Structure 1
Amino acid sequence: MTRFEEGAVKGAHTEHATVFKGIPFATPPVGENRWRAPQDVTPWEGVRDATQFAPSCLQKPMDGDEAPIYDNLSEDCLYLNVWQPRDDQEKHPVMVWIHGGGFVNGGGASEIYNGERFARDGVVLVSINYRLGRFGFFDHPALEGEVGPKGNFGLMDQKKALEWVQRNISRIGGDPNNVTVFGESAGGNSVLQLASQPESQALFQRAIVMSGGGRDLMNSAYPRTSADDDTGKPPRSAEAFGLKFATSHGIEGRDTDALSRLRALPAEAIVGELNMMTLPGVRARQHDYVGGPFIDGQTVVAPVAERFERGQQAKVPLMIGTTDNDLGSMTADTKEALFARFGSIAEQVRAEYDPDGTRSLSDLARALGRDEKMNEPARFIARKALEHNQPTWFYRFGHVANEKRGDWNGAPHATDVPYAFDTLDTRFDPTTLDDADRQAAADFHAYLVNFARTGDPNGNGLPNWPRMTAPDGPLLKMPAVDRPYALEKDPWTSALDLVERYVTRTDRRA
């Protein structure tokens, strides 16, 4: 039995860890607590069973997700899980994992996120849930009278979980003054949000961003309200998206009655058809979901890029990178139309990405979208961190598991996660994994553990990874198959320079 501030729990022992699952860090966000900042847990009597995962946040599951969650879903989902090393030591480094999923899918219970290897290596691993989709990112004029911050409830949940860590982690040998927050995709973007917003910066000492973007991951960081919403054009504010959603369910008005009716909607109606596959259409055509974090003036005071540009982010050691075949695509019917998007630099982009004219439209669209959405923004964040004297390590993950060589042209989005957790057997057929796969997982995992322990990823037996010293590197490139790793100026520098010129001059709102 272990006693946390809110009450006693009973976990389960594994080879390397004592595991506590389904610990509440906030009151269930249901009923009157739907679309309300997370509330404190009411302490419980007796011993709470903590041997089974609590529900993941309600969502529409999606095939093809790299860390799928298919069942045990509920609006009542604000729980976390802990893997405590099985030793008598104190002040272990703590790592808090924020899952990805486009802010509409995912959960901390995925088997890929098993924290056993971290506990084996002396790290307390915490995985968390946070509200997704319209449960987590929603505004409406009727919320104006509510007490506390409004709108970015999913980010508030993440902050609430980090506050739980500060209060409780020393009770199981974790060091609240050595907390690394890390995440991938929407989780990586969440790390950037936490690092760049004033209210969260004191809750951790290191940050790891895996394929988290760095400009506006979901294309637009909308304000809460906008005068443009009265022009008859598509919504330009979070409130306008919320009004569209309410109207679609026959709810008019902006008063407390409208809010009561919204809170009375079945949870399944809040989810609707929303998941990672449908997200672009839901926002761009139905206009009834804001798409993720927006500028509310308190939880999110300004876009991530703006905060980093001004040096207003948490000045903590930073590890940041992408995969070499990461997420993204640009839409065009022809190559000419695709290049035309780049205006005055169109021919330079053509010469860089399609010098002999033989590259297919689909391949070009993916490469350009990947660089626009992931690679250039990650470089931007790394450069700004360097500019403001943050110790920074920059990487590009390219390892492809044996069973996928020949099928994958590089490492797709999110395929680095089982290497980070050293849980390859949960993602790939264990009988196909070769020595190179195992070595890549051991190395990438060790880099993360060392970084959490000391603020530097290097350690015995690992290829040396120097910290970033100049805008173009060095960059650690983990290869498609096996060591040695390349340490060099980013070979994609000229391409990303062109993309940077494009993204910094273009209004990219949907």
Structure 2
Amino acid sequence: MLSAIFALLNLGASFNNLNDALKQTPIGPMVDSGYVAYPSSQLYQNAVDLGYVTYFGDNQPEMYPNTVAHLGIPYAERPVGDLRFRATVPLNTTRVTEEAGGSPVDATSYPDFCIQGQFAGQPGGAGSEDCLNVNVYSPYGAKEGDNLPVLFYIHGGAWIFGNPRGFPFEHWVNQSPNVIIVSVYYRLGSLGFLAAPEFTDPAYGDFNAGLRDQIQALKWVKSYISKFGGDPTNVTISGHSAGGASVELHMIVDESKGLFSRVIAQSVGRSALPTPKQQQPLFESYASLAGCENGSVADQMKCLRGANISALAFAQDNALHRDFGYVPIVDGLLITGHPTTKFQCGEFTHVPLIVGSASNETLSLSPKLDISTGLKAFFPSLTDTDIQQFLGLYPIDDFDSKIQQFQVATGEPDVICAVSLSLTLLPWATHPHYSNTWTYRYNTPDPTLNTKYVTHAAENWMMFNGTTTGPNGTSTFDPQTDAQKAFASELIAYWLSFVRTGDPNTYKLDKSPVWEKYSESNLVRMVLTQQNSATESGNEMEILPLAEFVRCAFAISKAEACQH
């Protein structure tokens, strides 16, 4: 009964022919195949033929009638065996075709997430190495030729944890069924960012494998997103925290040029990017804990590629690193300089930009709220003189409390000053080829934290159905009030208007204020604040405080000392 359908799919038959076949062929339970049985019309709408294989997606008409999700679509070869610790290998579509055997492939369930690292002191290790997939969310009925704009989302998680399942997009597309959204899985922790000086010879391994995964996923989008109804020439890359830092890096990486046309950078983690030599102690500790301490680096890498993943997960969580963790490095190959310095020199991809952070966030930790300790932990190469200069900008008399002083003094260099690093402090800011920029300050606390402070990732809770990230790829979702849902819709409208047109105002909600551009003559940002009413907007424009501008100017002047 299904053989006629599969034959049509395998031969690349037109969707009109497939539809005719479906109308004539009753669909019964697919007990043996494991595929979801849909009525013929829904099966037709949810099938996407990529040329080398056909995928069936998932539609939840009772919740998100406007959205189809195709989950777990591979974009690269499995990074296992000899491909462990190596640069991403493009997908072998011939292999995928052969493995499918002429049958359509079920893409209705979330795939395995990538191997996780420690989270809040809890050990990692969950996940799979076979994780290089994307999730594609599209409007119901979208088809090739629709040329819908594309949002490409990169999750955060300090480069060591995170699972796209915790950041679902069905409700985004359901609200605005005129975009395609792609979220990417990429290698994390040691599997994505292990480094040794010897990696300058790719025979040993490759630097920045996790970032290379993201680039390969963008190349897959360029090749195949049109099959889902997307426009491969109109891609906005977006990310939060380490995802925001990823977005920033793509703006300075030559290999990413031409793969995106707009940027949304949320809470860019301005962590230090070490050199290969600086990562050698971490490599040695990691290899030793994995039982691979003996022999040359070639011997160690052979051992690490043959090691059980549980041994690597243990080594990943317990390897001692005095300064740096598993992060991207300035390798001279993919990343040729520190991002802030690159931006100062105008050496980046000039595209329309939304960039911002939360009101009170910091990524530094210090149990005694010691600013020196917090800054040194985040930027290990700062000298004592550098630290004293930073401290001089944040006298306690300027703040309501020691908590606020610590947050601002560490949060601005860590995260908040990313807003300024690419803007008016730099001589090229008024360059005629520089594109439009909008900045924001997210000002609504995460209601689950019972605090007045608006901390890191607060907007994720609002924009992703009340999500809270947990250890080992887990997430919880809290119910949202009508006012919170209304505020989330307002944020999503701004974001997707930018994705569609390069301007957050074109398709904003009627109640939302106009979001003014940031420029050298107009130092303004949108303050994103929830109202208790579902019918009113709490958002408003504000002028960037001069004191913050001056402090960020100093932070940016320390780009090389901070190694960012």
TM-score between the two structures when normalised by the length of structure 2:
0.76
- The one-letter code of the counterpart of 2:346 is G
Cα displacement string for residues 137-163 of structure 1 (whole angstroms, at most 9, x for unaligned residues): 112355454369821000000001001
Q: 1:441 to 1:333 in 2, by over 3 A?
A: closer
Measured in 2, the distance between the counterparts of 1:330 and 1:224 equals 25
Alignment partner for residue 410 of structure 2, among 348, 352, 369? 369
Could you tell me the percent identity over the aligned residues? Answer: 25
Q: 1:335 to 1:88 in 2, by over 3 A?
A: closer
Corresponding residue for 1:233? none
Task: Give how far 1:412 is off.
Answer: 1.5
Task: Give how far 1:290 is off.
Answer: 4.2
- Contact preservation (8 Å) 1:115, 1:421: no
Measured in 2, the distance between the counterparts of 1:158 and 1:442 equals 28
CA RMSD of aligned residues (A): 3.2
Alignment partner for residue 93 of structure 1, among 145, 149, 157? 149
SS at match of 2:257: helix
Task: Give how far 1:212 is off.
Answer: 1.0
Specify every segment of 5 or more residues in structure 2 that has no aligned partner in the other structure, as ranges.
1-46, 376-383, 469-474
Q: Is 1:283 equivalent to 2:321 in the alignment?
A: yes
Q: Is 1:79 equivalent to 2:133 in the alignment?
A: yes
SS at match of 1:343: helix
Measured in 2, the distance between the counterparts of 1:144 and 1:488 equals 47
Q: 1:2 to 1:95 in 2, by over 3 A?
A: same
Measured in 2, the distance between the counterparts of 1:64 and 1:416 equals 23
Measured in 2, the distance between the counterparts of 1:274 and 1:147 equals 22
Moved more, 11-20 or 28-37: 11-20
Measured in 2, the distance between the counterparts of 1:17 and 1:490 equals 38
Q: Is 1:454 equivalent to 2:501 in the alignment?
A: yes
- The one-letter code of the counterpart of 1:78 is L
Measured in 2, the distance between the counterparts of 1:454 and 1:245 equals 46
Corresponding residue for 1:117? 172
Corresponding residue for 1:232? none
Task: Give how far 1:202 is off.
Answer: 0.8
SS at match of 1:56: coil
Task: Give how far 1:366 is off.
Answer: 2.4
Corresponding residue for 1:501? 554
- The one-letter code of the counterpart of 1:456 is D
Q: 1:209 to 1:329 in 2, by over 3 A?
A: same
- Contact preservation (8 Å) 2:78, 2:132: yes
SS at match of 2:332: coil
Corresponding residue for 2:113? 56
Alignment partner for residue 438 of structure 1, among 485, 489, 492? 485
Q: 1:28 to 1:378 in 2, by over 3 A?
A: same
For 1:108-507, list aligned pairs within 5 A.
Answer: 108-110=164-166, 112-121=167-176, 122-140=178-196, 143-146=199-202, 150-213=206-269, 217-218=270-271, 220-225=272-277, 236=278, 238-248=279-289, 249-272=291-314, 274=316, 282-284=320-322, 290-329=325-364, 331=366, 342-343=387-388, 346=391, 348-350=393-395, 353-354=398-399, 359-360=401-402, 362-383=403-424, 384=426, 386-388=429-431, 389-400=434-445, 407-421=450-464, 429-430=478-479, 433-435=481-483, 437-458=484-505, 459-460=507-508, 461=510, 462-470=512-520, 473-479=523-529, 481=531, 483-491=537-545, 493-501=546-554, 504-505=557-558, 507=561
SS at match of 1:366: helix
- The one-letter code of the counterpart of 1:33 is L
Q: 1:472 to 1:12 in 2, by over 3 A?
A: same
TM-score between the two structures when normalised by the length of structure 1:
0.84
Cα displacement string for residues 394-427 of structure 1 (whole angstroms, at most 9, x for unaligned residues): 00001235665xx222322112124344667996
Measured in 2, the distance between the counterparts of 1:12 and 1:345 equals 52
Measured in 1, the distance between the counterparts of 2:169 and 2:339 equals 29
Q: 1:345 to 1:71 in 2, by over 3 A?
A: closer
Q: 1:422 to 1:382 in 2, by over 3 A?
A: farther
Q: 1:142 to 1:126 in 2, by over 3 A?
A: same
Task: Give how far 1:204 is off.
Answer: 0.5
Task: Give how far 1:270 is off.
Answer: 2.3
Corresponding residue for 2:27? none
Cα displacement string for residues 89-139 of structure 1 (whole angstroms, at most 9, x for unaligned residues): 6011110110000000002222x3233322541111111100000100112
Measured in 2, the distance between the counterparts of 1:475 and 1:433 equals 27
SS at match of 2:156: coil
- Contact preservation (8 Å) 2:218, 2:259: yes
SS at match of 2:458: coil
- The one-letter code of the counterpart of 1:201 is K
Corresponding residue for 2:17? none
Q: 1:401 to 1:498 in 2, by over 3 A?
A: closer
- Contact preservation (8 Å) 2:237, 2:262: yes
- Contact preservation (8 Å) 2:155, 2:242: yes
Corresponding residue for 2:20? none
Measured in 1, the distance between the counterparts of 2:204 and 2:171 equals 37
Specify every segment of 5 or more residues in structure 1 that has no aligned partner in the other structure, as ranges.
226-235
Measured in 2, the distance between the counterparts of 1:502 and 1:88 equals 46
- Contact preservation (8 Å) 1:320, 1:378: yes
- Contact preservation (8 Å) 1:329, 1:368: no
Q: 1:84 to 1:350 in 2, by over 3 A?
A: same
- Contact preservation (8 Å) 2:394, 2:405: no
Q: 1:20 to 1:148 in 2, by over 3 A?
A: farther
Corresponding residue for 1:231? none
- Contact preservation (8 Å) 1:420, 1:448: no
- The one-letter code of the counterpart of 2:86 is R
- Contact preservation (8 Å) 2:188, 2:210: yes
Cα displacement string for residues 309-350 of structure 1 (whole angstroms, at most 9, x for unaligned residues): 111111110000001121333648587978997535755521
Which protein is bigger by CA-based radius of gyration? 2
Task: Give how far 1:63 is off.
Answer: 5.7
